A and B are shown apart, each in its own frame.
Chain A
Amino acid sequence: MNKIKIENDIIVESNLNQKVRLSFLEKSQDFMVNKIVIDLLEDTNLEIEYNNENALKLDILIRVAEGVTAKVQEFRNGNLMKIQYRYELDNHSFLNIQKFHHMNGMKELDTIYLNGHNSKIDYTLKTISKVREKYDITVYHEGKNTESMIRTNGVNLLDGSLDFHITGIVPNGKTGAKLDQKNRIINLNNQKCSIHPNLFIDEYDVVANHSAWIGKFREDELFYLESRGLSETLAMNLLVKGFLLSNLELSNKRKEELVSIINQYWR
């Protein structure tokens, strides 16, 4: 698998084949952040791993070439991070994004441009929020027959607060678009969390759905698991694992790592 490993603001490892091109742009004069461009040129999988001890700012552009199907998985662990992504998808391309975050603070702005006709994105974000986290994800359906599925799931605990702002935009004339949002926050510390699901649609030929849910795990779910002999902590552990690991396609090694992170809190 193609892999990029970033520690603090340095790329410490990049093991890439010809299907992925990595380039660096000079630091933006305005924000003084590192800019990285990743071009996905052929069908491929890419893993990006972030480990940062210091606060980190990054600006990343991911471009998916025409007809390419790609999966990009991200695993973040560490200190405060401010990150800005721009995704650009060409005609008939499909991008599957899977992110798992375990950070001490996160601010992320993702802008997704479905520029090409029949381009499609399936985006999954899973996070354990223990400080303040804010995600702003906007999808522009610029081509015809484009599809977006945005799935954001967070467990909020300790001193965390979590905000999801998810926006889908379809301009007039961009027919055949399908938009779907599934946003859910399990709020375990009763601090303020919010979900803002927005759909701005200026076209009739569109299918759009969104769901937003903030709360604890349902009492019935815990009862069901506990009625089979699982303690409350173990039942929570299973529910959190199910919530945070579903929709992620993980290798056994990576799954073990993520399970051990979850077990830090619920064991």
Chain B
Amino acid sequence: MHTLKIEHLTVEVENKIILKDFNLEIKSGEIHAIMGPNGTGKSTLSKVIMGYPGYHILEGTITYDDTIMNDLSVDKRAKLGLFLGMQMPLEIEGVTNADFLRSALNEKEKENFHLMKFIKKLDATVESLDMEKEMIHRGVNVGFSGGERKKNEILQMYMLEPTCVLLDEIDSGLDVDSLRIVGNHVMKYFKKEEPAVLLITHYQRLLEYIKPTHIHVMVDGSIVKSGDYDLVKEIETFGYDKFKKNGTHIIEEMKTHE
């Protein structure tokens, strides 16, 4: 059993406070979906958990199991079992997907790394994700469409077998078929490995495939409401405006209380 715990987290990016007294706990076998309007700090949250440079934690802690990660390097967070599927995965010219994944797995598994096992698993996952085989020998995400990039993130997740998965708008840029494939693969991985999952999305459509156990609405850097799947219906009906007002109200109340 693994637990990702965020307590009283306040984060500053370029002299602007993006996350304010943010709290969240995710255990293995749970999927927490965070929904909210643009510019509310959702992507910042996923990046700060992963240790993105330039994001300063002013207060609070991010803990994974017994390790406080605030000052941990990015690679050490990944070695603890964290994985961030990015909203806009980068193109890295010259570094092939195969080399990249082999190096990452080699680093993780050290003497237990077996090349043949790696190749077999890679081939099977590429086929299952309906990706072109030759993509694996191309530069990381070079010339990939939006959908192919997202599939590539899921491929990496399968290969690296993380225990905590952060998915930042994994549905953006996906057509209907790719959304189904990506969504189903995330669920398949969840059922098999039971990781702790943080899912960031704007839209309900992804949740047709990935079934969250908890839903949170985030506004202005904080969670303003949590609930079960019924909360999604509320968002679909009323939009985020309702929560924005409430959120502002809650934050104002919080400030007054301080």
Report A's interface with B, CB cutoff 8 A.
218-221, 223-232, 234-235, 238-239, 241-246
Tell me the bound Cα distance from A235 to B245 in angstroms: 44
Query: Is there an interface contact between B53 and A232, defined as CB atoms closer than 8 Å?
Result: no
How near does chain A come to B111, taking the closest CB pair, in angstroms? Answer: 16
- Chain A hits for B86, CB < 8 A: 224
Tell me the bound Cα distance from A245 to B141 in angstroms: 18
Encode B48-75 as 1/0 by CB contact (under 8 A) with A: 0010111000000000000000000111
Tell me the bound Cα distance from A1 to B160 in angstroms: 41
- Chain A hits for B100, CB < 8 A: 225, 228, 238
Query: Is there an interface contact between B90 and A221, defined as CB atoms closer than 8 Å?
Result: yes
Query: Is there an interface contact between B54 and A224, defined as CB atoms closer than 8 Å?
Result: no
Query: Is there an interface contact between A226 and B73, defined as CB atoms closer than 8 Å?
Result: yes
- Chain B hits for A234, CB < 8 A: 103, 107
B108 within 8 A of A: yes
How near does chain B come to A180, taking the closest CB pair, in angstroms? Answer: 16
Residue of A nearest to B92 (CB): A221
Residue in B52, B89, B90, B139 whose beta carbon sits within 8 Å of that of A246 in the complex: B139
Known A223-B53, A224-B89, A242-B139; contact A229-B104, beta-carbon cutoff 8 A: yes
B95 within 8 A of A: yes
Query: Is there an interface contact between B107 and A231, defined as CB atoms closer than 8 Å?
Result: yes
- Chain B hits for A227, CB < 8 A: 50, 74-75, 77-78, 83-84
The CB with the most chain A CB atoms within 10 A, among B53, B92, B99, is that of B92
Give the number of chain B interface residues (Cβ < 8 Å). 30
- Chain B hits for A238, CB < 8 A: 95, 99-100, 103
Residue of B nearest to A246 (CB): B94
Tell me the bound Cα distance from A246 to B139 in angstroms: 9
Query: Is there an interface contact between B74 and A241, defined as CB atoms closer than 8 Å?
Result: no
Query: Is there an interface contact between B94 and A243, defined as CB atoms closer than 8 Å?
Result: yes
How near does chain B come to A219, taking the closest CB pair, in angstroms? Answer: 6
- Chain B hits for A243, CB < 8 A: 93-94
15 extra interface residue pairs, beta carbon distance < 8 Å, beyond A226-B73, A234-B107: A219-B53, A219-B54, A223-B50, A224-B86, A226-B74, A226-B75, A228-B78, A228-B100, A229-B104, A230-B103, A230-B104, A231-B75, A239-B92, A241-B94, A246-B139
